[in-house]
A = this chain, B = another copy of it.
Amino acid sequence: MKELLAAARGEVPADLVFKNGKVFDVFNGTLVEATVAVAGGRILGYGDYEGKTEVDLAGRILCPGFIDSHVHIESSMVTVGEFARMVIPLGTTTVFADPHEIANVAGVEGIEFMLEEGKKFPWNFFLMVPSCVPASPFEAGGAVLTSETLKPLAEREDLFGLGEMMNYPGVISGDDETWRKLELFRERFRDGHAPQVVGKELNAYLLGGIGADHEAVSAGEALEKIRAGIYLMIREGSAARNLNDLLKAVTAQNFHRFLFATDDRHPEDLLEEGHINFLIKRAVAAGCPPETALRMATINAATCFGLRDLGAIALGRRADLLVIDDLNSLTVHEVYKDGVLVAEDGESLFPVCPPAKGKMGDTVKIKAVKEEDFHLPAGNLFRIIRLLPGQIV
């Protein structure tokens, strides 16, 4: 601490200093011309500091790294490493990953696999414990996670909280097994999933200690959920595209209650559109002030999850920093994680090796599909399901 204090007082050089640019101050919501110092991987503060390494921002903007508040990495259809290699250069330095797809097949072993992989890369990798495996009684992916199975997971420091509680009918009706899971995570973050759950049912659902929801599809639903005290994740995935509708709920009075989540994004959308950087750009294009959109991607998420070391360029927070050109085009030139350069001009600077062979292999167990499997018995009436473009409900 004495060393840090000496660096803060400016008596010894900081590890890293960013000069000659603007800094996005998430608390006041403004850009300030300032020099920022980093020591020990953390922000030391604003001030006229000198550094062992100095970065000339040349008028560019320093901004906190982006946070994806809810993502199933499995939906990217690539390994965790390839996902990291795609999204970190786009400015994502933190993900809250819910491995419920892999857990549906491989159970706890799948969760452990994701954790092991996630820890290899330069980001903050927060892994949630899937609450509903299988997702419904109609599924037979292979694994079942009971409250007994979850018990040891709820006590682990390397897992963050309870993943989206999709069994909202079970929460609302007071199903014992569902509530045992919620109780296990009483002291941890419990994520929500409550499509079109409003009114008294919303109140009953939220008694489960739910902290956020990413399933709202209209501004009215969003405002009601915010009023009830939870944070609202604006989701823009590949199938579910709710951003434009939900932005209508964002006001100068409540902007600090919104976060961004991708939920499920396919690889072509990650490559062509982007990740959280795309959600910010899309929000700005829809009329959201960039200062607001950037905060949904940074400090709002950190606050929602109670993480005081993320989401801001402020003393003591992790030096997860982006150098961007301006608030509108939002091109990410450099990405720093804990004060170390990890991506530059769209290219990752860290190694990505494929997971060890044999891990999670041989899990697809299906017989060959033939044309006649799709035949329907003649003469009967059948219900059909219609798809709504941009929605998953």
**Is A53 located at the chain interface by the 8 A CB criterion?**
no
A210, closest chain B residue (CB): B315
A/B interface sample: 18 pairs, CB < 8 A: A1-B174, A5-B172, A5-B174, A5-B204, A8-B203, A9-B200, A9-B201, A27-B229, A28-B223, A28-B253, A45-B200, A46-B227, A47-B199, A48-B200, A49-B200, A203-B315, A207-B315, A229-B316
Interface residues in chain A, defined as those with a beta carbon under 8 Å from any beta carbon in chain B = 1-2, 4-6, 8-10, 25, 27-30, 32, 44-49, 172-174, 179, 199-204, 206-207, 209, 223-224, 226-229, 251-254, 256-257, 291, 303, 306, 312, 314-317
Q: Is the CB of A45 within 8 A of B253?
A: no
In the complex, which of the residues B199, B207, B257, B316 contacts A5, with contact meaning CB atoms closer than 8 Å? B207
**Extra inter-chain contacts (7) besides given A5-B172, A46-B224, A303-B303, CB under 8 Å:** A1-B207, A28-B253, A30-B253, A47-B200, A48-B200, A229-B316, A306-B306
A151 CA to B323 CA, complexed, in Å: 44
Interface SS of A by simple majority: mixed
- Quick one: closest B residue to A232, CB to CB? B27
Count this chain's copies in the assembly: 2
Does A315 contact B206, Cβ atoms closer than 8 Å? yes
Please report the C-alpha to C-alpha distance between residue A101 and residue B174 in the assembled complex, in whole angstroms: 50
Nearest CB of B to A2, in Å: 5
A32 to B315, CA, bound (A): 38
From A49, which residue of chain B is reached at the shortest CB distance?
B200
* Inter-chain contacts of A179 with B (CB < 8 A): 1
Please state if A254 and B315 are interface contacts (CB–CB under 8 Å). no
Among B8, B47, B172, point to the contact of A9 (Cβ < 8 A): B172
Q: Are A28 and B254 in contact (CB under 8 A)?
A: yes
Select from chain B the residue with minimum beta-carbon distance to A292: B253
How many angstroms between the C-alpha atoms of A10 and B199 in the bound complex? 10
CB closest residue in chain B, given A303: B303
Looking at the assembled complex, report how far the CB atom of A11 sits from the nearest CB atom of chain B, in whole angstroms.
9
List the 5 shortest-distance A-B pairs measured between CB atoms, nearest first. Answer: A29-B253, A229-B314, A45-B203, A8-B204, A8-B203
Do the beta carbons of A203 and B254 come within 8 Å of each other? Answer: no
- Rounded to whole Å, the gap between the CB of A374 and the closest CB of chain B is 42
- In the bound complex, residues from chain B placing their C-beta under 8 Å from that of A252 are 252
Cα distance, A73 to B27, chains bound together (Å)? 31
